[in-house]
């Protein structure tokens, strides 16, 4: 039998490795930024075009590379980070496997400019699909500039699986934020299609969080510090009242590396026990420093999943540290039995002097006297004139006035006694059950409607019509509302502006990176502006429902769910009737936008069987 096992060619092996290392443009961004951090750079610039599909360029002022190092850096498993297997258990750098640049060069066009501080000229290296096209001397600044162009140019199938430019840009921003957060001592810049998205100077950790997520984050942060023999914890958590339904602001860093850990996330959430609403998640930015030998970061290609030696101790320490911060900074509710708010001095009276009240007494006042007492301004208690009381009961002289009166007993609806049985049965009667269901009668029995799901369906179809037909009506606000969002949220809102305008929103973007709401849809209350926009952004970030829904359908569904009447809300009889009529005027009254049953019919036979 002939030998059938063969060694793969280098370019094929590189493409296979690229499938693990480079999943999308954000993977390239992560690897290049981490290389710049390892090179000791203090200023890093990231330039992106078309969501990273056309260009990803990282420019840093790190140590640079010699001509030989520049050429070797694109070979498989070539690295300066480790020299023996023991080094894997004492890692202090980001990259160490030596696969990143080789994998990137296998599926893209790469231009590398680099120069060390001691050299007068640098090196220009051009690679296309693992093939070195040229290597020459060039004049360049100290540090490294690497440009990755036409990603997946030689693997069309992989390129077709990429999402839209906006989606890929959001993934790039995610990776950029994760690295920029944990390295506040490094200045970062991010440009997309020529526009500046981030310009982060050198600062401390708290300032870096505020610069990335907006000024609104400043008042939400609560510091967390704890140091033990096992771990040193530092960072910030967000106050419970600012918890969100999305998981967008949860960051764990282990030894300055972003990690994902559902186990440690549960430790933080359990520390907030009793302080959070249902289905909400607290925000946190927590850094942990552990012994490099007690953590394994090589269990996943992206190195975001790690393994700790003693996770149980880490869990207990983290939970205790978060609980301590909540209590120390008076975030957790406390009972004060000594203070009485009713005894507090009002602010306007705080600096005023006390004045004794003056009391005057009328010594000549006699309550039983019919005459006005001397020196008294009080009117006599006795009646001095009782003439003409008979006129009040003079029916003959006031017949016309009595004909205009309606006695209280006349308020009874006479239709109850005058209508026939057919009229009573034909009249629609409804009532509310447990402030959640609307019960009405139909020919076949009882109709039970979930009021929340019914209103979701009504609003969903109404908003969807407004978006597609472009007939949304705007109610202008007397005082425009200014909202502060992070750069990432601002980019999403700009993407959604056309559809939001069709719904009835009037949105503008000010020069100071704020969103100005000048008008809202007619069916939307003004106090729910922030809640609705936060829900839209959260749903958009998580991509809920976008697999089976168009963009317009997803937006209409999110708006409908947020503005629908809730269970527990009392409805008048007129509101119940209007809700039922609007529901059965919908194209699909049976199911809610989430494909849940809206109503059920309890048949007469089913009711009779109960007796």
Confidence of residue 89 (pLDDT cuts 50, 70, 90): low
Mean pLDDT over the full length of the chain: 81
Whole-number Cα distances in Å, 308 to 127, 250, 287, 293, 296: 39, 19, 15, 9, 7
Share of the chain above pLDDT 90, in %: 31
Rounded (5°) CA angle 515-520-522: 175
Higher pLDDT, 45 or 524: 45
Detail the DSSP E strand segments found in 359-473: 430-433, 437-442, 445-450
Q: Pick the closest to residue 451 from 589, 579, 600, 556 (CA basis).
A: 579
Whole-number Cα distances in Å, 370 to 366, 377, 383, 384, 598: 9, 14, 8, 8, 74
- Please, is 546 exposed, middle or buried when counting C-beta atoms within 10 Å of its C-beta (0-12, 13-18, 19+)? middle
Query: In the chain, what are the domain boundaries?
Result: 10-200, 205-328, 437-601
Indicate left, alpha or beta for 122 from its phi (over 0: left) and psi (-120 to 50: alpha). beta
Predicted local distance difference test score (pLDDT) of residue 424: 43
Roughly what angle, to the nearest 10 degrees, separates helices 487-503 and 529-542?
110
Calculate the dihedral angle through the C-alpha atoms of 341, 347, 351, 356, rounding to the nearest 10 degrees: -60
CA-CA distance, 94 to 331, in Å (whole number)? 36
Predicted local distance difference test score (pLDDT) of residue 415: 44
CA-CA distance, 358 to 353, in Å (whole number)? 16
CA-CA distance, 365 to 375, in Å (whole number)? 8
Confidence of residue 123 (pLDDT cuts 50, 70, 90): very high
Expressed in percent and rounded to 5, the helix, strand and coil fractions of the chain are 40, 20, 40
Predicted local distance difference test score (pLDDT) of residue 191: 93
CA-CA distance, 268 to 141, in Å (whole number)? 45
Detail the DSSP E strand segments found in 215-266: 221-227, 232-238, 250-254, 258-259
Indicate left, alpha or beta for 330 from its phi (over 0: left) and psi (-120 to 50: alpha). left
Rounded (5°) CA angle 525-526-529: 100
Q: Are 484 and 215 in contact (CB under 8 A)?
A: yes
The model's pLDDT over 429-480, given as tens digits with 9 standing for 90+, comes to 788 888 899 998 888 888 999 999 999 999 999 888 888 877 778 889 888 8
String of DSSP letters for 404-426: T---GGGGS-THHHHS-HHHHHH
CATH code of 10-200, in short, is: 3.30.565.10
Indicate left, alpha or beta for 202 from its phi (over 0: left) and psi (-120 to 50: alpha). beta
Predicted local distance difference test score (pLDDT) of residue 497: 86
The model's pLDDT over 269-283, given as tens digits with 9 standing for 90+, comes to 999 988 888 778 899
CATH code of 205-328, in short, is: 3.30.230.10
CA-CA distance, 332 to 326, in Å (whole number)? 5
Predicted local distance difference test score (pLDDT) of residue 454: 93
Higher pLDDT, 460 or 485: 460
pTM score: 0.70
- Please, is 381 exposed, middle or buried when counting C-beta atoms within 10 Å of its C-beta (0-12, 13-18, 19+)? exposed
CA-CA distance, 86 to 44, in Å (whole number)? 31
Higher pLDDT, 161 or 423: 161
Over residues 585-594, the mean pLDDT reads 90
Q: Pick the closest to residue 26 from 236, 179, 219 (CA basis).
A: 179
* 186 pLDDT more than 80: yes
Predicted local distance difference test score (pLDDT) of residue 319: 94
For domain 437-601, the CATH architecture is: 2-Layer Sandwich (3.30)
Predicted local distance difference test score (pLDDT) of residue 129: 85
The model's pLDDT over 408-426, given as tens digits with 9 standing for 90+, comes to 444 444 443 444 444 444 4
Q: In the sheet that 284-289 helps form, which strands lie side by side, from edge to edge? A: 221-227, 232-238, 284-289, 250-254, 258-259
* 388 pLDDT more than 80: no
Least reliable range by pLDDT among 88-102, 139-153, 160-174: 88-102
Predicted local distance difference test score (pLDDT) of residue 542: 67
Detail the DSSP E strand segments found in 409-540: 430-433, 437-442, 445-450, 474-483, 506-509, 515-521
Q: Are 18 and 107 in contact (CB under 8 A)?
A: yes
Q: Are 472 and 503 in contact (CB under 8 A)?
A: yes
* 86 pLDDT more than 70: no
């Amino acid at each position: 039998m002939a030998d059938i096992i063969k060694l793969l060619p280098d370019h094929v092996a590189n493409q296979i490795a690229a499938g693990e290392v480079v999943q999308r443009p954000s993977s390239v961004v992560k690897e290049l930024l981490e290389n710049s951090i390892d090179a000791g750079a203090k200023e890093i610039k990231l330039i992106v075009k078309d969501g990273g599909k056309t260009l990803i360029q990282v420019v840093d002022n790190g140590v640079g590379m010699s001509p030989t190092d520049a050429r070797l850096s694109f070979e498989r498993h070539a690295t300066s980070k480790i020299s023996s297997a023991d080094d894997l258990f004492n890692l202090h750098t980001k990259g160490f496997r030596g696969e990143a640049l080789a994998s990137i060069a296998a599926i893209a066009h790469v231009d590398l400019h680099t120069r060390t501080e001691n050299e007068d000229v640098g090196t220009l290296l051009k690679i296309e699909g693992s093939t070195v096209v040229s290597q020459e001397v060039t004049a360049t600044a100290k540090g490294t500039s690497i440009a990755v162009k036409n990603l997946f140019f030689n693997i069309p199938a992989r390129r077709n699986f990429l999402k839209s430019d906006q989606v890929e840009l959001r993934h790039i921003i995610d990776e950029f934020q994760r690295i920029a957060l944990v390295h506040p001592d490094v200045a970062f810049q991010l440009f997309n299609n020529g526009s500046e998205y981030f310009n982060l100077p050198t600062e401390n950790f708290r300032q870096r969080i505020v610069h990335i997520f907006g000024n609104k984050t400043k008042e939400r942060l609560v510091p967390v510090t704890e140091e033990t023999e096992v771990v040193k914890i530092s960072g910030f958590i967000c106050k419970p009242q600012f918890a969100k339904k999305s998981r967008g602001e949860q960051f764990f860093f282990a030894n300055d590396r972003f990690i994902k850990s559902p186990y440690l996330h549960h430790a933080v959430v359990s520390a907030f026990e009793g302080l959070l609403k249902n289905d909400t998640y607290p925000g946190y930015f927590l850094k942990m420093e552990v012994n490099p030998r007690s953590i394994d970061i090589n269990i996943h290609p992206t190195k975001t999943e790690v393994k700790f030696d003693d996770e149980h101790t880490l869990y207990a320490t983290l939970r205790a540290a978060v609980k301590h911060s909540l209590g120390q900074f008076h975030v957790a509710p406390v009972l004060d039995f000594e203070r009485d708010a009713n005894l507090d001095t009002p602010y306007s009276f705080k600096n005023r002097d006390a004045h004794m009240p003056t009391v005057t007494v009328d010594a000549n006042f006699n309550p039983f006297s019919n005459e006005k007492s001397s020196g008294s301004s009080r009117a006599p208690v006795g009646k001095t004139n009782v003439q003409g009381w008979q006129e009040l009961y003079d029916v003959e002289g006031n017949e016309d006035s009595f004909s205009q009166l309606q006695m209280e007993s006349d308020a009874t609806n006479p239709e109850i006694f005058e209508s026939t049985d057919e009229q009573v049965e034909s009249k629609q009667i409804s009532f509310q059950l447990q402030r959640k269901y609307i019960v009405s009668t139909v020919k076949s029995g009882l109709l039970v409607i979930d009021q929340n799901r019914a209103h979701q369906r009504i609003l969903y179809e109404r908003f969807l019509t407004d978006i597609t037909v472009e007939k949304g009506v705007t109610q202008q606000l007397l005082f425009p509302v200014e909202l502060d969002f992070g750069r990432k949220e601002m980019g999403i809102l700009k993407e959604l502006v056309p559809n939001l305008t069709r719904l009835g929103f009037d949105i503008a973007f000010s020069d100071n990176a704020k969103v100005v709401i000048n008008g809202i849809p007619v069916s939307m209350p003004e106090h729910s502006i922030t809640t609705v926009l936060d829900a839209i952004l959260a749903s958009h970030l998580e991509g809920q429902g976008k697999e089976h829904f168009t963009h317009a359908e997803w937006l209409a569904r999110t708006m409908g769910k947020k503005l629908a009447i809730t269970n527990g809300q009392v409805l008048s009889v007129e509101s119940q009737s209007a809700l039922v009529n609007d529901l059965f005027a919908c194209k699909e009254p049976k199911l809610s936008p989430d494909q849940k049953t809206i109503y059920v019919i309890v048949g007469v036979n089913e009711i009779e069987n109960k007796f």
